[in-house]
Structure 1
């Protein structure tokens, strides 16, 4: 590869910084909400099928 085809270190650092910012600001919160919401949905469905938790009456 020639010198013109390789990305400069400054461009690469800027791109990596934007990627880290995207992951921290958007991806992790969206994944956290999806995981917690999915778990809550599974618990809700299981309680509809098997009844609420607690001692048997």
Structure 2
């Protein structure tokens, strides 16, 4: 039988607004900037290592 009452289902409680905002700010201004710097730095390191092995880019067509 379908329960037509307005009772919320049993499960994790809905976060209140303060907890949700705190988690948003931790992600937006804490974790994601660190991840972004790591990704850009990692890419730069890979390019640097590639150029150590293959040599720097030179003029094209010579």
What TM-score do you get using the length of structure 2 for normalisation?
0.68
Give ranges in structure 1 of 5+ residues lacking alignment.
1-5
Aligned residues: 50
Q: Give 4+ residue runs of structure 1 displaced > 2 Å after superposition.
A: none
Structure 1 vs Structure 2 CA RMSD? 2.1
Give ranges in structure 2 of 5+ residues lacking alignment.
1-11
Tell me which structure has the larger Cα radius of gyration. 2
What TM-score do you get using the length of structure 1 for normalisation?
0.73
Q: Relative to total residues, which structure has the larger helix share, 1 or 2? A: 1
